[in-house]
Amino acid sequence: MALTDNPELMRSLVVERLVGATGDPRRVTEAARACALRALPNVVSAFQEKFPTAVALDLLDIEIVRLAELKPREDSCDALVVVPSEASGDALTMRLDPQGISLLVSALFGGDPDLPVPPIDRPPSAIERDVAALAFEAFAKALNGTGARALGLRLPLQPLLSGGDFRRLVVRDGPGVRIRFSLGGEEGGGVLTAWMPQRLILEMRDTSKPDQRVERAQAADWRHRFSDEVLRSTVRIKATIPLTSMPLGDLAKLSAGQVIEFGEGTQSEARLSVRDKTVFVCDFGKSGNHYTVRIKQPFDARQDAVDGLLSR
């Protein structure tokens, strides 16, 4: 960190070090622009499926910002959603302004596209929040991408925030990038704004490095598949009952047809085993015409060894 006699500059340097150093502005802007331009055609396709009336979409601008700037005022009429990812709890934050909310509601319910739509002047209603969620979902999926360049966003979206929710919203400051999209044209249209941390967008777009998130996801997928295969495999279960104790001499005299009585308490010491490994201690009994075992407790090999020593 550079030293300076200017206390204001020193405070800025300290804050910058605490919340994260900014990346190269040109590189950050290029990465954000590439991400936005790749996402835009997918958003257009999603809007065509969701909204009966066509909504013009375009990229307005990209700006290097501090993420603290994204928090709306308490009296704001915007709708906001925070989308976490595997690498960040606030990987993507999106805000839709009142004009954009009104325009999308009109487009969804067949409003005349030639008539101007006034912006809402109050917190969004439940229906308006649902409509905003449709737009947020389309943008989140498109910005997330696929393959090695994917942001790893956790979908479906979390509940939207609006009105009084902004009072409780905690924003983690840091270097970020702001991407603004126009809805319905630049004049009289709405704006959907997306914020992302600079660190995340640079890491996710750096294809020269191996994508550790993809590797972890693939490893987890293989573990999940392997576990499923194991759980679906069939094994034979055996129940054994200790009869009694007898000298080796008496054991040697046993012959076919002899009857051996159960010892006292042996029916409560049945053992359930799988592949010669004892797993449960059970009670032996009968239900109707069928013999049964009722599981009492998991088998404790250490306690069984101790009990065997004490019984000698």
Domains and CATH numbers, the chain: 7-208 (3.40.1550.10), 237-246+260-310 (no CATH)
* Least confident window among 12-16, 55-59, 198-202: 12-16
Q: So what's the pLDDT on residue 23?
A: 63
Summarize the confidence of residues 284-296 as an average pLDDT: 87
CA atoms of 278 and 234, how far apart (whole Å): 17
| Residue 94, beta-bridge partner list | 81, 194
Summarize the confidence of residues 143-169 as an average pLDDT: 88
Q: So what's the pLDDT on residue 88?
A: 83
Whose tokens are 């201690």? That residue is 281
CA atoms of 137 and 103, how far apart (whole Å): 17
- Structural contact between residues 194 and 177, judged by C-beta atoms closer than 8 angstroms: no
212: Cβ–Cβ under 8 A, 6 or more apart, which residues? none
pLDDT higher than 80, residue 228: no
Q: So what's the pLDDT on residue 193?
A: 96
Summarize the confidence of residues 97-102 as an average pLDDT: 96
Query: What's the chain's average pLDDT?
Result: 82
Q: What is the pTM of this model?
A: 0.60
The band of 182, judged by pLDDT with boundaries at 50, 70 and 90, is: very high
Summarize the confidence of residues 99-121 as an average pLDDT: 90
Q: So what's the pLDDT on residue 312?
A: 57
Percent over 70 (pLDDT), the chain: 81
- Structural contact between residues 157 and 141, judged by C-beta atoms closer than 8 angstroms: no
pLDDT higher than 80, residue 139: yes
The band of 207, judged by pLDDT with boundaries at 50, 70 and 90, is: very low
Would you say the C-alpha torsion 39, 208, 31, 196 has a positive or negative sign? positive
Side chain identity at 28, as an amino acid letter?
A: V
Nearest partner of 243 among 263, 272, 271, judged by Cα: 263
Q: So what's the pLDDT on residue 208?
A: 44
- Of 40 and 290, the structure prediction assigns the larger pLDDT to 40
Tens of pLDDT, residue by residue over 2-47, are: 444 555 545 544 554 444 445 678 888 998 999 999 999 999 999 9
